[in-house]
Structure 1
Amino acid sequence: MNSIEPPGTIQSQLLPLFFLTSIFFLNFTIRIILAPLLPTILADMNLTHDQAGSFFLISASGYFISLLCSGFVSSRIKHKKTIVFSAVATGVAFLVTGLSQNLLSMRIGLFVVGMTSALYLPSGIAMLTSSISSQNWGKAIGIHELAPNLSFLLAPMICEGLLLWLSWRSVLIVIGVTSVLFGISFFKFSTVKDFPGEPPMLKSFLPLVATPSFWMMIILFSLGVIGTLGVYSMLPLYLVNEHGMPQSQANKLITMSRILTLPMALLVGWLSDHFGLKPTLASVLFFTGISTLLIGVVTDSLIQVVIFCQPVFAVCFFPPAFAALSHIGSKEIRNIAISFTIPIAFLVGGGVVPNVIGLLGEKGFFSMGFIVAGGLILSGTIVPFFLKFQKDN
């Protein structure tokens, strides 16, 4: 990858950081905002639980396909234009989704949203590291990676605030228009130097096929996404339909439960350095699995306690998991490992599992969906101990 290292402090490079973090925040918010809106959408469109759950599988399918192919796009139109295209096209697709009047057109819209939103992340990271001096990469990436956690925290608040004046369709339109405006603004006002991406090569993937730890990391990342995005996607609908909470109360509870997740990345980073990656990963999966399982077991009086605990454990997965993934195979294929692991994990954990929870909910076993999800996460507790890192060879 061509890299430009401009001089100066991070303060002089705040404009590209602001744009990229804002676009990433909107990109992630668009992908999860349906979750807090789901009870309203289900009632308005007269949908079943499984139809509602299918939204996440359809969007994740588009995300999976496009993320694997994102290198072809950025190699043709370069990274900056890829980011602009992703922000604008995702915003337009989400706007059109908001205007959809039937289930089929809404599914098509969400599939396109998944495809266009996936183009951002590889080019966003490449553009971030090329526009920020290398001595500030840690701080810049740390700020950039706050976007998903802030999105989990703020998405329910944004929904409830906008729903006071707007319909759920108008909420989608407003967020879509905002993404379009940020994409255009980034193109017009950002002066970052552009450069092309690298198209994926199948021959680069072949060494990973014979690496057992690579397949283990796919399993682990899928379980990690189940604990975060998979649970989050269906939790508001579960609280409203199974526990009788008003939608505003459910979204407020989910928002409050996410506040403590923000500093957890720093804490788990220290723990993984102190105790090692494998024990840390196993512990995180154990507590995430138990708390996810309890969502489907506990009564109304304890559900709030469990919902506060579950995301705190779940977000601890990713820092040690990315560190572990960076130790899989030789340095030449590590970036390829990330490129293939993430889309598969999002398809399974953020698409298939929410759909399964929705299917169980439609059959009258909504709580069983969270019990099954928790059981799956618990089953992965022993997997980290079988990982073989490159430094162990």
Structure 2
Amino acid sequence: MSLRGDKSFLNRLEPKYIVLFACWSVWFVNFLVRMSVPVLLPSIQVEFDVAYIELGLMMSALTFGYAVSQIPSGILADRMKKKYVIVPGMVLFSLAMVGGAISNSSTVLILMLLTAGLGLGTYYPAATSLIAAWFERGERGRAFGIHETASSVGSVVGPLLGGYLVYAFGWREGFGVLLIPGLLAIPIIWYLGKEPDIDISGLKKQKIVLNPILMPTAVYTLMIMGWMAFTTFLPSYLTNVGYDDFSAGILFAIMPLVSVIAMPVAGNYSDKFGRGKVIFTLLIISAPLSFLVTYFEHWIPILFLLVTIGSTLFAAYPVVIALISDKIPASNRAGTFGFVNAIGMVFASTTPTAIGYLIDILNYRIAFLTISLMILAAAFTMLKINWDEGKKE
């Protein structure tokens, strides 16, 4: 095919799908990095001779930095082009990865991971607002479903890449290599992450109004709390019942792999049949599954349960985001997304510690029952929301 033919093909693509691809690329990098770092921690522990609590602080620093930057980056994204918020964040992340690679102490590394989290956190409120601006309400479920497959692919590739890097080279070289995808994402979002030709200058800037998003935010927070706790301790449960690390990793990867298909399907169904029905159905099905996992050790029933979790709990995420998008005005959409994601991530960052404590003093079954109750609470919170209500832009 000639270059002219390639240009003709690009010209025929709808701009909104080019923007969606640009956002997908950066979101993939975001999860690629966040899911690679845990695999590097054992080597870091050996070099710096630190306790497990310091390893926990490293991941908490990354997550906390990510949460803290949500609200300010969202507010800025409502006042300027989204790429002007995302790109500086990616630059900050890249600099932090360089700093992490040359860290001479665990304290410096914790600070670098905190900084990396601050940089990565600028993406989500700006990008979700950008996607919502390009896609009409009846298309957003599918659009967000496609976008969220990036998190699933990143969740699969990240641990594999991190494991290979630390095995073949070392954790410092791993930090250096993880810098490269971030650098590649910068020109993609800069040149392809364009704003729609919509004049919102006449729209009155509003403060974040809690009432219409209060219950959806509660659903989102409870769902993310359950998701983070389950994904944190599923591998350790599997190794506890006799699986080796490799087999546990393969079983874990089933969930994000399945969700690559399930997320856009769930989003598309929510466009047709309504967000509330789809979210409630997915959450009510997934709620007991994490608890049921603790009753099985054979790989066949565990595989079935994990496939179902990937098809339900993971798939509910983009539909909840679409629901929130439907209920907020365009003039402060990014700021609101930043607020919602910050609340969810702050609370979710506490659940691994709480669930780990339950495992220490009781057992996995009680701990995973608690996770199921979180997801069940998210499902019943959906009953407090008017499923037919939609906010016009």
The TM-score, its normalising length taken from structure 1, stands at 0.77
RMSD over equivalenced CA pairs, Å:
4.2
SS in 2 for 1:123: helix
Give me the whole-angstrom Cα distance separating, in 2, the residues matched to 1:47 and 1:269.
44
Q: Which residue in 2 is equivalent to 1:346?
A: 345
**1:183-222 equivalent positions in 2, closer than 5 A:** 183=186, 204-205=207-208, 207-208=209-210, 211=211, 214-222=213-221
* Structure 1 counterpart of 2:153, one-letter code: L
Alignment match, 2:3:
none
**Structure 1 contact 330–390 (Cα < 8 Å) conserved:** no
Residue 3 of structure 1: aligned partner: none
Change (3 A) 1:227 1:15: same
Distance 1:263 1:226 in 2: 23
Alignment check: 8 A CA contact 2:77 2:85 kept: yes
Deviation for aligned residue 1:263: 1.4
Cα pair distance change 1:306/1:185, threshold 3 Å: closer
| Matching of residue 84 in structure 1 with residue 83 in structure 2 | no
Partners in 2 of 1:364 and 1:307 — Cα distance? Answer: 24
CA contact (8 A) 2:220 2:320 kept: yes
8 Å CA contact 2:74–2:336 kept in 1: the answer is: no
Correspondence for 2:374: 376
Return the offset for 1:18: 5.0
Moved more, 380-389 or 319-328: 319-328
Deviation, structure 1 residue 173 = 2.4
Q: 1:171 to 1:61 in 2, by over 3 A?
A: same
2:383 aligned to 382, 385, 391, which one? 385
1:167 and 2:170 correspond:
yes
Q: Which moved more, 1:16-25 or 1:169-178?
A: 16-25
Higher mean alpha-carbon deviation, 36-45 vs 147-156, is at: 36-45
Q: 1:256 aligns with which of 238, 254, 257?
A: 254
Report the alpha carbon displacement of residue 121 of structure 1 after superposing the two structures with TM.
2.5
Gap change, CA 1:64 and 1:193, over 3 Å in 2: closer
Distance 1:375 1:390, change over 3 A: closer
Matched with 1:70 is 73
Q: Which amino acid aligns with 1:221?
A: Y
Unaligned runs of 5+ in 1: 1-6
Structure 2 counterparts to residues 241-252 of structure 1, below 5 A:
242-252=240-250
TM-aligned CA distance change 1:67 to 1:182, over 3 Å: same
Determine the C-alpha separation between the residues in 2 that align with 1:224 and 1:318.
8
Kept in 2, the 8 Å contact 1:59–1:112? The answer is: yes
- The answer to whether the Cα contact below 8 Å between 1:33 and 1:155 also exists between their aligned partners in 2 is yes
How does 1:18-167 map onto structure 2 within 5 Å?
A: 19-38=22-41, 50-71=53-74, 73-74=76-77, 78-125=81-128, 143-167=146-170
Q: Is the CA contact (8 Å cut-off) linking 2:358 and 2:366 kept in structure 1?
A: yes
Distance in structure 1 (CA, Å) of the matches to 2:365 and 2:46: 20
Deviations 1:236-259 (A, max 9, x none): 34434x234333332222223432
- The Cα of 1:329 is off from its aligned counterpart by 6.7
Q: Percent identity of the aligned residues?
A: 20
Give the total of aligned pairs. 377
The amino acid across from 1:374 in the alignment is S
Asked if 1 retains the 8 angstrom alpha-carbon contact of 2:78 and 2:331, the reply is: no
Give 1:282's aligned residue. 280
TM-score (norm 2): 0.77
- The alpha carbon displacement at 1:358 in A equals 3.7
Q: Does structure 1 conserve the Cα–Cα contact (< 8 Å) formed by 2:25 and 2:150?
A: yes
Q: Distance in 1 between matches of 2:282 and 2:319?
A: 10
Instruction: Judge which range, 273-282 or 107-116, deviates more.
Output: 273-282
Cα deviations by residue, 1:111-169 (Å, 9 ceiling, x for unpaired): 21221111123334566688x799xx868766544321211222222233334412234
Deviations, residues 60-84 of structure 1 (Å, cap 9, x unaligned): 2222221100145557885334322
Contact 1:293/1:373 (8 A) holds in 2: yes
1:26-48 CA-to-partner distances (Å, cap 9, x unmatched) read 12222232344456656666655
Q: 1:157 to 1:383 in 2, by over 3 A?
A: same
Separation of aligned partners in 1, 2:361 and 2:105: 23
Query: Residues 35 and 234 of structure 1 are in contact (CA less than 8 Å); yes or no, is this contact kept in structure 2?
Result: no
Q: Is the 8 A contact 1:154 1:255 kept in 2?
A: no
